[in-house]
Amino acid sequence: MLRLTLLGTGAAGGVPLYGCECIACERARSQAAFERKPCSAMLEWGRGGAQERLLIDAGLMDLHSRFAAGTYYGFLLTHFHVDHVQGLFHLRWGNTSPIPVWCPDDPQGCADLLKHPGCLSFKPTLDHGESFNINRLKITPLAMKHSRPTMGFLFEYGIMSFAYLTDTDGLSAQTLDFLLERQPIDAIVLDCSFPPNSEAGNHGNLDIARLIQEKLKPKELIITHIGHDLDRWLMENGVPNWVEIGRDGMEI
């Protein structure tokens, strides 16, 4: 069994965006199913009663109450931007065994997390293409195109493979080539923050997502890190048939 649950699918401002009255934000205020919390996920794998769990990023502010101590193996951090690590600031002072946190080698980190880690055991060992294993789960970090050192991940367990690729403006040639060699991939979860024809900057738009889908041809392409402008565009134009729209709580 290999299962990925999207805990949050929002861009840094979330949906609804504070102070915004667009149709997407108004829908999210009235219907909880359309809210978008900080982009993060949970990976579960194993057989029978020997199932394991990893948390990907830590932007949710209720991690300490949502996941009891000892119920997960540790964290994989894509990078140290605040919306991906803010949940660790409270969690680090917990009274528990050390919690491993695999992360890119970014000495600046975020505020004083690395200087005062508390119960968190940071492991800045993520390098592009350097695979490691946790209880038969193969994890390969992949370099993303972002303003901080950032990693996506390819997960392989048995015959199943998932790629989680967020906070990136498209894919670098080295990452694209790596994934092309591992086709077919069962599911790719991809950063797509903006509508088509938008200046993407540090994040992808729907045009970029389409190009990646055409090149890698995953069985499923699910977009995440979605901003309210893209949600509004989808409401007005409909969902293209080549993509699935990530939602908080979605299981893959």
Three-state SS letters, 54-115: EEECCCCCCHHHHCCCCCCCEEECCCCCHHHHCCHHHHCCCCCCCEEEEEECCCCCCCCCCC
Report the pLDDT value the prediction gives residue 201, as an integer from 0 to 100. 78
Residues 53-72 as b or e (16 or more Cβ within 10 Å = b) = bbbbbbbbeebbeebeeeeb
82 phi and psi angles, rounded to 5 deg? -55, -40
Instruction: In whole angstroms, give the CA distance from residue 114 to residue 117.
Output: 5
pTM, entire model = 0.96
Radius of gyration of the chain (CA): 17
Q: How far is CA 250 from CA 8, 43, 221, 223, in A?
A: 9, 12, 13, 11
**Orientation of helix 173-180 relative to helix 206-216, angle to 10°:** 40
Helices (H), the chain: 23-30, 63-66, 82-85, 88-91, 173-180, 206-216, 228-237
115-119: list long-range contacts, CB under 8 Å, 24+ apart: 116/92, 117/92, 118/91, 118/92, 118/93, 118/94, 119/91, 119/92, 119/93, 119/94, 119/95
pLDDT of residue 171: 97
For the record, the structure tokens of 159 come out as: 């015959």
With beta carbons less than 8 A apart as the criterion, state whether 219 and 243 touch: no
Task: Return the SS3 of 201.
Answer: coil
Q: How long, in residues, is the chain?
A: 252
**Under CATH, which architecture does the 2-244 domain have?**
4-Layer Sandwich (3.60)
- How far apart are alpha carbons 246 and 212 in whole angstroms? 16
One pLDDT digit (tens) per residue for the chain, 252 residues = 999 999 999 999 999 999 999 999 999 999 999 999 999 999 999 987 668 999 999 999 999 999 999 999 999 999 999 999 999 999 999 999 999 999 999 999 999 999 999 999 999 999 999 999 999 999 999 999 999 999 999 999 999 999 999 999 999 999 999 999 998 999 999 999 999 998 867 999 999 999 999 999 999 999 999 999 999 999 999 999 999 999 999 999
Q: Where are the domains positioned within the chain?
A: 2-244
